[in-house]
Structure 1
């Protein structure tokens, strides 16, 4: 096999490979001889079909099959020989495929870039610390109560946080506009579901009343014809209602998996869940700072193939998140969700993957099996049969690999924290669990 390689631009390489004709012909003849033993052709007994006839009937297809396999196999043999690491699939173009002549093809592909690691001693991280207080637990329990709350009609004036059922008609310059009309719509006052001023104008209303609201649409409103427009809404209040929180009793506790132990046990369960959430959120904020530092400290050429693949993965994630409509052939997701929507995030992910991979390689970081086990057990602890979940993870290679990947990232974060400067800052539960600006 003859191999030559050249750099076309940046990370792109062009590999020219020549394969001796006798290697191709030998494999083709071998397969045709095997086929002659089993094919059925009218006029011949099984296993007695002459090779010449088999070749006439199946030779072209077998040649195409063999040439395809040889090009694929030869490509990977060639990149190993040249000690290059392809990033993504190659584009293979045959140059010479005539029978009896040496096979020649050209493969164009990108390689992984060289990553030169920076110093990590100047990485600065603020690590938030907090405890779950009784007040935090009380607040969380109220949230859980509101999730199970019912609405009861009221006859008094409404307050913020209460609900109204309304009919309304919106007009602009005396004319109704599209999307400005509704009947029997429920609205929680203070939910910011409507344009500024709408909900505030209904605080203090009572059932049976009519109100006229003179409002202005925001300048950044999605409907261009209504941006900054002065409008008027005529609102009829059909009913008003207030939330009734459920009692903190055994029936309520059972809805959250606490069958016995009463309020004390329920509060303990809530605290445990909040502590777990607090720990994960604090770690996520540290990780985000570390990953931001890695992105800002390194300049890396990104293989277009990897970025393209990551864009496709992000697009599919979004499709699944919004109902898994990927199988709807009538929708053109490429135009609905263009590459530009995901390009920045995809480039960040690819860059981080390359840099983190180099940190792992350069420092000999290996996956800690004990930490993998601990993470699996923590994930399983939220299920009724934790041991079954643990066994499921260890019997599913893909699931376990995802945990190993997460653990390896955590080990990289720990390694970089040890090298950098960490400042602990006392905080609160609410502040720690508030989502970070970026997804590491």
Structure 2
């Protein structure tokens, strides 16, 4: 087999492969012999059909099959021989494809970029530390109570945080417009659900009262046909209900799966969950800074095949997340290219860090992480057992741990600054990273 390779770009390779005619004929004859053992031809017993008849009937199909298999096999042999690492399937173009002649074809493909990860010392990381204070715990309990608020009819004027049941009709230039009217709508004042001025205009209203609100749609309103237009809303208040927060009772605790623990037990469980969230938030922020630093210090070219595959994965995820009667391929690729590029480049860089430092998942850390995740469930032992019985899920945890070990490896050489902050600041989501 003859092989020559041409570098047509930084990552694209054009490989010409020649396969001797003898090898082709050997493969064709092998298939014809297999066919002869099972072929059913009128006038002949199975297995007794003359090879001349078999060749006349089946040679063309056997040759096509043999050529396809040989291209696949010899391409693999050639990339191994040339020590190439294809990043996707090749585009194959036959040059000589005639009976009795050597097979010659050209395979064009991209290879994975070859690089060494560097620049750990240039990465700066701010590592936060925080504690769950009693005030943070009290605030969280109030959040949980508000999430379970109920409303009771109030015989008074409406205030912020009250829930109103309303009918309204919206008009522009005296004409009712599409989507500007509704009946029996529940609206919490101060929620910001309606355009500016709508909710504010209902403060002080009583059940049975009608108010006319003259408002203007914002310039950046999602419906461009309405943006920056003046509208008149006639609103009828059907009822006013005031919020009633639930008391910290056993019944309330039971909604969160906590029974017969009392207020102290409930507070302890909430604190434990907050501390777990805090640890994860700090870990995530450190990881994001490390990954951003690795991207900045290691600019590499991305194989188009890998980028296209990642874009397609993100398309599928978007359809699964948001639903709708749309096929993934109908979503514009440019919507996902930036995110896809970041994920592909980071995947290549992380893999190279693992390779350069000969990292393997620390099984003790794997178990610790599984136990940490399981602690959020009522039967943690069962959750731990489930992970160790499910290879796919267990390998996903190992991948997470390996990524954490990559972060630790970078932190050993990076410039790390420790900073004490409040719980709220520590758990506040960081700004989403962008691709370079």
TM-score by length of 1: 0.93
Deviates more, 1:236-245 or 1:12-21: 236-245
Report the Cα distance in structure 2 between the residues aligned to 1:52 and 1:387, rounded to whole angstroms: 69
Hey, what does 1:334 align to over in structure 2?
A: 329
Does the CA contact (< 8 Å) of 1:288 and 1:438 recur in 2?
no
Hey, what does 1:202 align to over in structure 2?
A: 202
Query: Which segments of 5 or more consecutive residues in structure 1 lack a partner in the other structure?
Result: none
Q: Call closer, same or farther: CA 1:360–1:181 in 2, change over 3 Å.
A: same
Does the CA contact (< 8 Å) of 1:161 and 1:191 recur in 2?
yes
Whether 1:93 aligns to 2:93 is: yes
Whether 1:355 aligns to 2:355 is: no
Hey, what does 1:38 align to over in structure 2?
A: 38
Query: Which segments of 5 or more consecutive residues in structure 2 lack a partner in the other structure?
Result: none
Structure 1 residue 439: deviation in Å? 5.5
Q: Call closer, same or farther: CA 1:105–1:157 in 2, change over 3 Å.
A: same
TM-score by length of 2: 0.94
Deviations 1:208-254 (A, max 9, x none): 11111111111111222222112221111111212323332222222
Map of 1:252-401 to 2, 5 A cutoff? 252-323=252-323, 331-335=326-330, 337-401=331-395
Report the Cα distance in structure 2 between the residues aligned to 1:392 and 1:61, rounded to whole angstroms: 50
Whether 1:242 aligns to 2:248 is: no
Whether 1:163 aligns to 2:163 is: yes
Whether 1:16 aligns to 2:16 is: yes
Does the CA contact (< 8 Å) of 2:316 and 2:328 recur in 1?
no
Deviations 1:186-207 (A, max 9, x none): 1121221111111121122221
Hey, what does 2:396 align to over in structure 1?
A: 402
Report the Cα distance in structure 2 between the residues aligned to 1:271 and 1:25, rounded to whole angstroms: 74
Hey, what does 1:427 align to over in structure 2?
A: 421
Report the Cα distance in structure 1 between the residues aligned to 2:318 and 2:90, rounded to whole angstroms: 27
C-alpha RMSD of the superposition: 2.0
Report the Cα distance in structure 2 between the residues aligned to 1:9 and 1:166, rounded to whole angstroms: 65
Deviates more, 1:117-126 or 1:309-318: 117-126
Does the CA contact (< 8 Å) of 2:319 and 2:327 recur in 1?
no
Structure 1 residue 376: deviation in Å? 2.0
Q: Call closer, same or farther: CA 1:31–1:387 in 2, change over 3 Å.
A: farther
Q: Call closer, same or farther: CA 1:394–1:21 in 2, change over 3 Å.
A: farther
Hey, what does 1:109 align to over in structure 2?
A: 109
Report the Cα distance in structure 2 between the residues aligned to 1:55 and 1:187, rounded to whole angstroms: 81
Structure 1 residue 62: deviation in Å? 2.8
Structure 1 residue 18: deviation in Å? 1.2
Q: Call closer, same or farther: CA 1:74–1:212 in 2, change over 3 Å.
A: same
Structure 1 residue 61: deviation in Å? 2.8
Deviations 1:305-337 (A, max 9, x none): 1111111111111111113x6xx6xx34433x2
Q: Call closer, same or farther: CA 1:95–1:394 in 2, change over 3 Å.
A: farther
What SS class does the counterpart of residue 136 from structure 1 fall into?
helix
Deviations 1:118-140 (A, max 9, x none): 33223221112111122222222
Map of 1:124-163 to 2, 5 A cutoff? 124-163=124-163
What SS class does the counterpart of residue 352 from structure 1 fall into?
helix
Structure 1 residue 285: deviation in Å? 0.8
